[in-house]
């Protein structure tokens, strides 16, 4: 168990994309997910329109907002095939969908081994799924020491415990790099992406998934949209600002963009809104459980997917290639 970390004093920052000091308030909210005290602010850059948290928790105090029961680490002891029933099948299907995209995007010569790095690999479900594809050598980077050790031991692969830059990988090491729900957490995404560009081979693939602040769920749910996840998310990307960030760091050949996750995001956002209203707490929990039932989810799967394609899903997954030179 972590020692109790004091609540940090928030720090002011300039725009993470263009460095401008000028911005306007976009959204004010609280920590609806972990329910830690504080009021947090998302602003929009007056110059490039990036949405970013300002003021924000400093890097050396951010641990306060990642308690031991934070979602990404809570399944550390559970493997990809340990999830039962339809929910487990949905998880495996989503992971293998990502694996297939990556496997097809990064073409290898006969008998060539392709190297994959998953940044922020947490409990390693994606890396575990990739181990079923031949011709890949996989490894991870994970800030959480305990999650890194457990994932490394469980999968028998290298997992560097610490920040990406501290791993000091040689230039042009990897054929593919993935960041699932990670980029929005970074204090300096531009520096991290330039580091990823350095360690990615020319022509290599970067696969990024982030919440989509321009989605219909984000607009409909306002401050309660789960994709804001204040104060852990430093940035709230839209398709436009994500493209700018990637282009300016050496990734400009967009291969594909997928939308996903609107139903689950809407459910969590609804729960946050009900928890912060006078609505009966037991009824709110019951509604949430019913709507999370795998059969309800399977029923709404197709209409949600269609809406995501037309109006923009709550998450966007982008596959981009690095410059050849
Ligand atoms: Zn800006």
- For CA atoms 1, 183, 202, 95, give the dihedral sign: positive
CA 11 to ligand 1 center in whole angstroms: 17
CA 250 to ligand 1 center in whole angstroms: 18
CA 235 to ligand 1 center in whole angstroms: 11
Lowest mean pLDDT among 160-164, 189-193, 318-322: 318-322
Question: Could you tell me if 254 and 206 are in contact, meaning their C-beta atoms sit under 8 angstroms apart?
Answer: no
Question: Could you tell me if 184 and 53 are in contact, meaning their C-beta atoms sit under 8 angstroms apart?
Answer: no
CA 21 to ligand 1 center in whole angstroms: 8
CA 24 to ligand 1 center in whole angstroms: 11
CA 14 to ligand 1 center in whole angstroms: 8
CA distance 136 to 165: 23
Q: Is the pLDDT of residue 199 over 90?
A: yes
CA distance 59 to 52: 15
What pLDDT, on the 0 to 100 scale, is given for residue 121? Answer: 95
Q: Which residue has the higher pLDDT, 129 or 279?
A: 129
CA 30 to ligand 1 center in whole angstroms: 24
CA 111 to ligand 1 center in whole angstroms: 45
CA 52 to ligand 1 center in whole angstroms: 9
What pLDDT, on the 0 to 100 scale, is given for residue 247? Answer: 92
CA distance 242 to 227: 15
CA distance 97 to 1: 35
Task: Return the closest-CA partner of residue 265 out of 292, 236, 247, 303.
Answer: 292
Mean model confidence pLDDT for the chain: 89
What pLDDT, on the 0 to 100 scale, is given for residue 278? Answer: 83
Residue position matching structure tokens 């997928």 = 258
CA 128 to ligand 1 center in whole angstroms: 37
Q: Which CATH number fits domain 63-322: 2.60.120.200, 3.40.50.150, 3.40.50.920, 3.40.50.300?
A: 3.40.50.150
What pLDDT, on the 0 to 100 scale, is given for residue 243? Answer: 93
Question: Could you tell me if 282 and 230 are in contact, meaning their C-beta atoms sit under 8 angstroms apart?
Answer: no
pLDDT tens per residue across span 229-266: 999 999 999 999 999 999 999 997 777 677 777 888 88
Q: Is the pLDDT of residue 47 over 60?
A: yes
Q: Is the pLDDT of residue 276 over 80?
A: yes
Task: Could you list the beta-strand ranges (E) of the chain.
Answer: 23-29, 40-45, 51-53, 114-119, 136-142, 159-161, 174-180, 200-211, 235-236, 251-260, 315-322
CA 241 to ligand 1 center in whole angstroms: 9
Tell me the mean pLDDT in the region 102-112.
84
Strands 200-211 and 315-322: antiparallel
What pLDDT, on the 0 to 100 scale, is given for residue 164? Answer: 95
CA 199 to ligand 1 center in whole angstroms: 26
Task: Return the closest-CA partner of residue 28 out of 51, 6, 50.
Answer: 51
Rounded to the nearest 10 degrees, the angle between the axes of helix 85-105 and helix 294-311 is: 40
CA 19 to ligand 1 center in whole angstroms: 6
Which two structure tokens, joined as six digits, stand for 38?
Answer: 């504080």
CA distance 138 to 119: 11
pLDDT tens per residue across span 286-304: 888 888 887 888 788 788 8
CA 273 to ligand 1 center in whole angstroms: 30
CA 256 to ligand 1 center in whole angstroms: 25
CA distance 212 to 312: 8
Question: Could you tell me if 87 and 116 are in contact, meaning their C-beta atoms sit under 8 angstroms apart?
Answer: no
CA 50 to ligand 1 center in whole angstroms: 5
Helix (H) or strand (E) holding 100: helix 85-105
What pLDDT, on the 0 to 100 scale, is given for residue 72? Answer: 59
CA 13 to ligand 1 center in whole angstroms: 11
**DSSP letters spanning 64-81:** GGS-TT-HHHHTTT--TT
pLDDT tier, 4 (very low <50, low <70, confident <90, very high otherwise) = low
CA 92 to ligand 1 center in whole angstroms: 38
pLDDT tier, 305 (very low <50, low <70, confident <90, very high otherwise) = confident
CA 142 to ligand 1 center in whole angstroms: 28
Contacts for 101 with CB less than 8 Å, ≥ 6 apart: 207, 256, 319
Residues with CB under 5 A from ligand 1 (ion): 15, 17-18, 20, 45, 47-48, 50
Task: Return the closest-CA partner of residue 258 out of 84, 55, 100, 126.
Answer: 100
């Amino acid at each position: 168990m972590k020692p109790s970390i004091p609540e940090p004093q928030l720090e002011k920052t300039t725009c993470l994309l263009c460095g401008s000091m000028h911005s306007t308030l976009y959204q004010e909210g609280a920590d609806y997910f972990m329910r830690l005290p504080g009021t947090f602010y998302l602003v929009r850059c007056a110059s490039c329109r990036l949405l970013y948290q300002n003021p924000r928790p400093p890097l050396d105090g951010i641990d306060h907002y990642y308690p031991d029961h934070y979602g990404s680490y809570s399944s550390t002891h559970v493997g990809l095939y340990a999830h039962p029933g339809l929910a487990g099948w949905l998880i495996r299907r989503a992971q293998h969908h990502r694996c297939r995209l990556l496997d097809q995007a990064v073409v290898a010569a006969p008998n060539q081994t392709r190297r994959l790095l998953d940044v922020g690999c947490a409990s390693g479900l994606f890396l575990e799924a990739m181990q079923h594809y031949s011709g890949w050598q996989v490894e991870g980077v994970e800030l959480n020491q305990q999650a890194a050790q457990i994932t490394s031991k469980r999968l028998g692969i290298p997992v560097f415990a610490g920040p990406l830059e501290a791993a000091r990988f040689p230039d042009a090491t990897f054929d593919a790099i993935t960041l699932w729900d990670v980029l929005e957490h970074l204090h300096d995404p531009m520096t991290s992406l330039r580091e990823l560009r350095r360690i990615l081979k020319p022509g290599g693939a970067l696969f990024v998934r982030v919440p989509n602040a321009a989605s219909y769920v984000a607009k409909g749910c306002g401050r309660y949209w789960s994709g804001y996840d204040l104060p852990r998310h430093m940035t709230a990307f839209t398709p436009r600002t994500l493209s700018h960030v990637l282009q300016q760091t050496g990734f400009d050949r967009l291969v594909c963009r997928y939308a996903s996750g609107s139903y689950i995001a809407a459910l969590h956002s609804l729960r946050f809104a009900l928890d912060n209203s006078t609505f009966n707490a037991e009824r709110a929990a019951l509604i949430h459980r019913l709507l999370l039932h795998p059969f309800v989810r399977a029923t709404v799967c197709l209409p949600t997917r269609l809406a995501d394609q037309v109006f923009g899903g709550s998450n966007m997954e982008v596959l981009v290639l690095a410059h050849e030179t």
